[in-house]
Amino acid sequence: MEQYLRDSKILTIWEGTSFIHGMDLVNRKMRMDGGIPFVNWMNVIGAFIAENRNAAGFGREMENLAKGLACLQSLKALYDSWFDNFAGKRQLIPLHAVRMLFVCAQVQVAECLMEQALIAQRKLDGLPAEDHERAF
């Protein structure tokens, strides 16, 4: 019983934090300055995909990143339509805010990992076959 009580407190703190961040994302950050900073961020990821779409050995990964970005763009459009429908009314939109937060995080982390992988591949391609650094 004591363990369940402790666990329930920890879970409410974690969920509370995630929910607050999710609400901040969908109600403030995605709407800031007419949504331009958020759209610019998505455009940076889109430009990265376009620039590296044909990178040798990374086609499937870039395709998956593009799918993630497309999902993010469609979710942004969905939230925009909800906000447009409630224009002039003080209404928070908590629906799936935590999921939106996780989608944003996954797309950003995937883009960072792909960038690191491409840098590593370029460095590896520049090393001679017998170089001891290749193993790393």
Angle between helix 59-85 and helix 97-125 axes, rounded to 10 deg: 150
pLDDT at 83: 78
Question: Domains of the chain: which residue ranges?
Answer: 2-126
The backbone region for 33, taken as left when phi is positive above 0, alpha when psi lies in -120 to 50, beta otherwise, is left
pLDDT at 129: 86
Residues of the chain with pLDDT under 70: 1-16, 87-95
pLDDT at 133: 82
Cα(124)–Cα(136) distance, integer angstroms = 9
pLDDT at 33: 92
pTM attached to this predicted model:
0.77
